[in-house]
Amino acid sequence: MPGLPGPDGRHDDLDADELEGLALLVPDDARSLDSDRDAYLRELRAKRDDGTGPTGVLRSFLRRSTGGMRPGIGLTGPLLLVLLVVVGLIGSSLSVFGGNAPGDRQQPPLATPPPDSPAGTVGGLLPDVMLTGQESVYPLRNARPAVLVMVPASCPDCGDILRSIRIQAAGYSLPMLLVGPPSQLQQLRGLDEEELGGSVAVATDDSDVLQGTYLPNGVTAILVRDDGIVAMVQRTITATTRLESHLVQLDARSAPAT
């Protein structure tokens, strides 16, 4: 069929100049695309700030990843998968936390926990406190399903850990929320902007209930089901900690992203 590559990847209907632009190397390890992903996130943030939106940035990312190839020609399955993952890293947080509150997403009713699981414990509901986001104040219990992440006041090596959590959460279309007391607001915003490209939500717990409830140690994740039940509290997370077996259980409406 005209326009499609043959078994050897060649386009016999294209001239030499066009063929030269179709060279594409798909890496064996997707982690080698981290620098492209980070550059994409930085450009997306810049485009968001000047109001031009993500479309032009995606085109730029396509050109950079395909060695100048015209979008739509010779775009292979592995590259499409990489692009979908990158867009998913942004999209899952924007769709849930992009409005006035995480509760903008339609949610099931809060669960009725068993009497032996008080609020704040694993198996119980999230604490009934308010969070202050960038644009609004909303109940913590509206942040569901979600991966809530708390970090130490000094966390110079948090970048790789937070990126690992973010990628795992995005694989299950789960938003990630960086949360801490008001004294950590600038730190949390800096981690989001510098390490995650502005792709997650940041909020403060003005009553500082979460610190006393979950006693975080190192980077700590609180996994919240779509009915508001705390499914797991994972402390001392490293960049190699795997959470997928727990993340898959948080949202009954979502299947793993493919």
Confidence of residue 32 (pLDDT cuts 50, 70, 90): low
As given in the structure block, the two tokens for residue 144 are 């569901």
Is the pLDDT at 27 greater than 50, yes or no? yes
Closest CA to 163 of 239, 243, 83: 239
Least confidently predicted of 52-56, 119-123, 150-154, 246-250: 52-56
Residue 138 · residue 220 · CB < 8 Å? no
- Determine the average pLDDT of the residues in 28-55: 60
The answer, yes or no, to whether residue 201 has pLDDT greater than 90, is: yes
Q: Quick check: bond before 145 cis, omega within 30?
A: yes
- HEC string of 131-161 equals EECCCCEEEHHHCCCEEEEECCCCCCCHHHH
pLDDT number for residue 106: 73
| Predicted local distance difference test score (pLDDT) of residue 178 | 98
Counting residues of the chain whose pLDDT is more than 90, the rounded percentage is 52
- Whether this prediction's pTM lies above 0.85 is answered by no
Close Cβ partners of 245 (under 8 Å, ≥ 6 residues apart): none
CA distance 145 to 96: 10
CA 191 to chain centre: 13
For the cut 90, the answer to whether the pLDDT of residue 31 exceeds it is no
Which one-letter amino acid corresponds to residue 136? Answer: S
Find the largest Cα–Cα distance for the chain: 73
Give pLDDT, residue 195: 95
- Over range 23-37, report the average pLDDT: 60
Specify the residue for token string 């986001």.
133
**Which residue carries 């509206």 as its tokens?**
142
Beta partners for residue 201, in sequence order: 177
pLDDT in tens, 207-237: 999 999 999 999 999 999 999 999 999 999 9
- 39 falls in which pLDDT band (50, 70, 90)? confident
Instruction: Record the tokens describing residue 57, joined without a space.
Output: 């940035």
**pLDDT, mean of residues 51-58:** 44
| pLDDT tens profile 121-173 | 999 999 999 999 988 999 999 999 999 999 999 998 999 999 999 999 999 99
Q: Tell me the residue ranges of DSSP E strands in the chain.
A: 130-132, 137-139, 146-150, 176-180, 201-204, 220-224, 230-234
pLDDT higher than 60, residue 250: yes
Residue 83 pLDDT > 60, yes or no?
A: no
Centroid of chain to Cα 36: 16
170 vs 92: CA distance, rounded Å? 6
Question: What are 160-200's pLDDT values in tens digits?
Answer: 999 999 999 999 999 999 999 999 999 999 999 999 999 99
- Angle, nearest 10°, between helix axes 158-170 and 77-97? 100
Q: Where are the domains of the chain?
A: 16-75, 102-247
- Model confidence at 46, in pLDDT bands (50, 70, 90)? low
Indicate the class that CATH gives domain 102-247.
Answer: alpha beta
Q: Which helix (H) or strand (E) holds 61?
A: helix 55-65
